[in-house]
Structure 1
Amino acid sequence: MKKITLFNLCIFLMALFALSTLQAQNHARTIDQYLTKANQEGFSGVALVAHKGKIIFSQGYGFANREKRLAFDPNSVFDIGSITKQFTGAAIMKLEMEGKLKTSDVLTKYLPNLPAHMHKITLHHLLTHSAGLPGGIGPDEEVLGKEAYLKRLFTKKLSDSFGSFAYSNVGYSLLAMVIEQASGMEYEQFLHKKIFAPAGMTQTGYRLPTWSTKNIVVGYRNGNRWGSTHLKSHYNQGVTYHLKGNGGIMSTVLDLHKWYKAIKNNTVLSKEATQKYIAKHIKDGGGHYGYGWGTEPKPGREIVWHNGGNGFFNAFMGYYLAKDLVIIVATNYGKSADPYAHPIDRIMHGEFKTMNEKLAKRYQGAYRLPSGEKFKVRFNANSQLEVPIHQAALYQLFSGSIADKASVAATYNQKISVLGNTLLKHNYAQYAKIEHQYMLEGSEAAIASQIKRSLERREKRLGKIKAVEVLGSVARQKGKYYLSAARFAFAKGNNYVFYTWKGNRLIGVRVLNEAGMTKKFDYQGKHAFFAESNQLKIQLTTQQGKPAIRVGDKVLVKE
């Protein structure tokens, strides 16, 4: 009887293993189909998914270097952006484990010459972006040493956000200085010895790894080559404090997977330190922030994640420790990696839907807004509904959210209008004066020089600037942020500038060309589409027998 029971148990375990293997293969096949179609729509990058201790998917798409036609693969070395912050957070936790510091320590213990208004800042404040510091104080390409960085920072006042979440690269640069002071080692040397080497990561760092030239990824935006971070930011001259500790580390999806395993297996940090590392320390929009990681609720689960980018490279890393599932995606063409990571997440949870082709053909085509603007709806290869947002009415409808407030939007629209009009007059000094009061980063002279170079490059390519039109300002994260957009019309084409606001603070600016002015909605099944960024739903419906789409309280009929 005992032998039969053991035999049956073995058969059951073998069947369970076979089922698990088959499920992993199906997931990998679906992810490949999804990213292959995404590549047809312009995606260029690499992705890795590991589940239950095994890498089930690891593949590149498109070119890591277009000029040399070098394809992306799992060994491609890319800029991970602000994912760098998780290593700074881990380094602080490692030093706390070694008794060399405490997260409750005041910053003056390690940087004693801080101005009086910064004496209340603790390491916890820096780790949780709650120190009231500016987002940054200069461009990534500017090589700036410790003393020059601090001298510039000391002229800045703390914002009224002290004690609450306000994302700051500066805070993590200061943490890099703390790590150097407490450990007696240079920041990257400490990471290499205490973090990367124990985790088996040989392809991660700023300057220390020996990378093969053919593996280093080149960044692009709007079809234009930018280059590689280690060259553009002059790492051969030393890592600038505009990046050290907060961004600019280069890595591969394979190395980042090794880091995930080190977190899960407590290879670098103890179990207690790891719990503190990824804990929900501070509220951030709909989620929380820990020490270099965010935590975000999803239906029936909760993901620990972080992303990063510099406008050319973008990366996403997220995981579920209890499920032993990690998702890593990187891109090199100026587009966020997040919209590709989220569908992969849905694939792994059985939530990914594909649209019937006959249904797509019926609903794609021309529609008209009540205000008269015509636009086209199309469905791409990944069953996403796409609409243009290059006109004010279209931008406000499809990029807007239920959190939009007309009075708040009007205030931001006025600010953008004033900034735009100064550029029309090529008044760079006035532009810098206005932008500086919102950004609090860099000097007015530096801003004027930067915007002058930027506009001159565009006028050389597109002809003289002719007009500026504000498209509108829409809420993000339930009104915590606002995203303003404006069309800059040149003689030979348009550029679109997006401004991200938090209160009276301008925390980000990015530029897109005409091709980038498309809003995508993911298919949810049952004729419904959803955009996560603004929490907006589009429902396919009919009106008097004609195909129509419902957007909020508006029903738009196909012409």
Structure 2
Amino acid sequence: MNVKFNIYIVIFLLALLFSVFLFLACGQHSGLTNKTNSIDEYLMKLEAHGFSGSVLVAQNGNILLQKGYGLANVQTSEKFSEETQFPIASITKSITATAILLLEKKGKLKTTDHIGQFFKDVPNDKKEITIHHLLSHTSGLVRDVQRTSRDKLLRLILDSKLIHPVGKQFAYSNAGYQLLGLLIEKITGDLYEQFILKRVFQPLNLTCSFENDSSVWRQIPMAFDESQNYTIFKKNYRAENKIGQGGIVCSITDLYKWFFSLLNGDIIDNQHLAKAFSPQVMIKNQGNYTGYGYGFYLNFADPEDRVIIHGGDIFGYHSELQWYKDSDRVIILFSNKELYGLGVHKRIIVSNINKLLNGKKIIQPEEFETLSSDEKLPYVGDYKIDENNLFHVWHENNHLMIGAEGQEAINLIAVHNQDQKEYINQKNRLTQQIVTALTTGQEKILKDILSKSEYDFFVSYWVDVLENSKKKYGKLRKVIVKGANSYPWQEKYIRCYAYYFFENKTVDISYVWDQNTLRETLEESGVQYPVVMRLVKHSENVYSVFDLVTSKGQLIRFDDQKLSIKVKGNPILAIKY
């Protein structure tokens, strides 16, 4: 009797334990489901404000969300999905780096080997460059070399001038990773693409391919590049000399499978993986990055929330892969939108997804109404606060868009605080001084404004761009700085937009500032105005815009040939003209 009683007790306790386990598991699943739903709702709101692309979120090896948003092709209305093929641009570098480590694992090379062991006639200033230097962007090689055929690429890179002594500092170099691609070909006897297909993609059953395979062009979504409008891929890109540094095409699902396999040791062992994910060089003043491994940026500023990252960007195509190491969370985002949409805000979107997974609140766009196709036309036109501050409203692919030029107009829809406004005005004035000095040949003013390193790095390049533009577009008539806004990559960066009016074309060149340091210049993005946003309907004549960088929105009312925006309760009017 006692034996039976004991058995019943054991059975009861086991059943109770199982029930508790099931309850906890269901509760955990319910919590994840709620967070996943919150992410989906957030992305759908962003879709209303212009985002299109695909997003994958995984944790502990389990995919929580993989979904497409918006259109892959506006002409055919084909929607984005998790299987949409996408050019991942510089995320290719991560794959190249792991391929090099795979060759090291097989004894074909060492990261300490000098490039002269593999290539002939290496110039004296480059003889100290090792594979390690190429992998970690410390070789001193230039960022880019001009486009050329693959058989001429090696000589072009080796003959280029070093921008800093070998091994002395981090300087991102596409040319360095092109050299790694050529190195893979030299060692294996295969074309780079053949080696990656045979040794990486096919063993993992991935359908990834390469941009120079014309058969995949029609599978790639259309890109929104302002200078070309919506364009099919093959019109703008060729991958002949992207070897090693770009050119891979894959779905968000396959990119995750590759990264998951990498973490699981299916490609390289833990010893070599540690080299990829460890800081081979420390980075200062590069936004959130604290270091670079082999093919991956590292953000280890928070020791309890370390992030391993790489992104890819070409006009109209933006990709981001982030692994939150301590929570084992992977977030991947693709977007085919340029500055008119939210593609270049990819890191802010990924950061917000991570915050939602951590149970934190984020500022989101307001709820919205769906527009019908005939109700937006009355508001199309140009509006002015004064001669220097203008709004432009137009109809584009069944949406209303608004562009702003002039800093007062920009501030109304980008909603900067007073400190930012003063800082932005200072950078606008400084940028105007630079472009005026550049176009009038006032070298002394440029030297007074810029640091020596900035002068040495930028000025000769600017002169080349200016002279080439004159040859293509005719005499330069004037240059105007039309305003600035927060830079999507880093909120503290400011991007000032200068428009060069040539006889036959107006060319935009933007200048990116980090406090008193000029970080980079970007030319001919084709963006018409310094700020462009989608108008989202709230009621019959009230629309909103939402700035993802500042996480602030603004309501815009259209009434009787004018638009109005309230600032501290007072309406600012812009009259249609």
* TM-score (normalised: structure 2): 0.70
- Which residue of the partner structure matches residue 87 of structure 1? 95
- The correspondence of residues 422-501 of structure 1 with structure 2, limited to 5 A, is 438=458, 444=464, 448-449=467-468, 453=472, 467-469=479-481, 471=483, 483-488=495-500, 496-500=508-512
Cα separation, 2, equivalents of 1:264 and 1:512: 40
Tell me the amino acid that sits aligned with residue 357 of structure 2: M
- Which residue of the partner structure matches residue 352 of structure 1? 361
1:440-459, Cα deviation, whole Å (9 max, x unpaired): 77995x98556755x58xx9
- Which residue of the partner structure matches residue 182 of structure 1? 187
- Asked whether the equivalents of residues 106 and 119 of structure 1 are also in contact (C-alpha less than 8 Å), the reply is yes
User: Would the alpha carbon gap of residues 206 and 12 (structure 1) be closer, same or farther in structure 2, given more than 3 Å must change?
Assistant: farther
- The correspondence of residues 40-59 of structure 1 with structure 2, limited to 5 A, is 40-59=48-67
- Which residue of the partner structure matches residue 395 of structure 2? none
- Report the more deviating stretch, 93-102 or 185-194: 185-194
Q: Which has the larger radius of gyration?
A: 2
Cα separation, 2, equivalents of 1:506 and 1:167: 12
2:144 aligned with 1:151: no
- Asked whether the equivalents of residues 409 and 473 of structure 1 are also in contact (C-alpha less than 8 Å), the reply is no
2:176 aligned with 1:171: yes
Match among 18, 39, 45 for residue 26 of structure 2 = 18
Match among 11, 17, 33 for residue 3 of structure 1 = 11
SS of the aligned residue for 2:308 comes to strand
- Which residue of the partner structure matches residue 130 of structure 1? 138
- Which residue of the partner structure matches residue 289 of structure 1? 292
Match among 330, 334, 340 for residue 330 of structure 1 = 334
User: Would the alpha carbon gap of residues 115 and 168 (structure 1) be closer, same or farther in structure 2, given more than 3 Å must change?
Assistant: same
How far does residue 519 in structure 1 lie from its aligned partner after superposition? 9.4
- Asked whether the equivalents of residues 482 and 497 of structure 2 are also in contact (C-alpha less than 8 Å), the reply is yes
- Which residue of the partner structure matches residue 376 of structure 2? none
- The correspondence of residues 24-423 of structure 1 with structure 2, limited to 5 A, is 24-138=32-146, 142-151=147-156, 153-159=158-164, 162-207=167-212, 211=216, 215-222=219-226, 224-225=228-229, 227-229=231-233, 232-234=236-238, 239-241=239-241, 243-284=242-283, 285=286, 286=288, 287-297=290-300, 300-334=304-338, 335-336=343-344, 337-354=346-363, 390-392=405-407, 398=416, 414-419=433-438
- Which residue of the partner structure matches residue 426 of structure 1? none
1:72-113, Cα deviation, whole Å (9 max, x unpaired): 111111111111110011011101101111111111112232
Cα separation, 1, equivalents of 2:363 and 2:425: 36
How far does residue 19 in structure 1 lie from its aligned partner after superposition? 1.9
1:305-331, Cα deviation, whole Å (9 max, x unpaired): 111111210011111244232111111
- Report the count of equivalent residues: 484
Cα separation, 2, equivalents of 1:405 and 1:467: 18
- Percent of pairs identical after alignment? 23
Unaligned segments of structure 1, at least 5 residues: 359-372, 377-386, 423-433, 521-529, 541-555
- Report the more deviating stretch, 143-152 or 72-81: 143-152
Tell me the amino acid that sits aligned with residue 527 of structure 2: N
User: Would the alpha carbon gap of residues 30 and 298 (structure 1) be closer, same or farther in structure 2, given more than 3 Å must change?
Assistant: farther
How far does residue 419 in structure 1 lie from its aligned partner after superposition? 4.6
1:424-466, Cα deviation, whole Å (9 max, x unpaired): xxxxxxxxxx99973877995x98556755x58xx9xxxx965
Tell me the amino acid that sits aligned with residue 158 of structure 1: I
1:122-161, Cα deviation, whole Å (9 max, x unpaired): 11111111111111112xxx45213245236504233358
- Asked whether the equivalents of residues 130 and 166 of structure 1 are also in contact (C-alpha less than 8 Å), the reply is yes
User: Would the alpha carbon gap of residues 413 and 516 (structure 1) be closer, same or farther in structure 2, given more than 3 Å must change?
Assistant: closer
2:523 aligned with 1:509: yes
- Report the more deviating stretch, 194-203 or 295-304: 295-304
SS of the aligned residue for 1:189 comes to helix
How far does residue 52 in structure 1 lie from its aligned partner after superposition? 2.5
How far does residue 121 in structure 1 lie from its aligned partner after superposition? 1.1
* TM-score (normalised: structure 1): 0.73
Unaligned segments of structure 2, at least 5 residues: 1-8, 368-387, 392-401, 442-453, 535-545, 555-566, 571-577
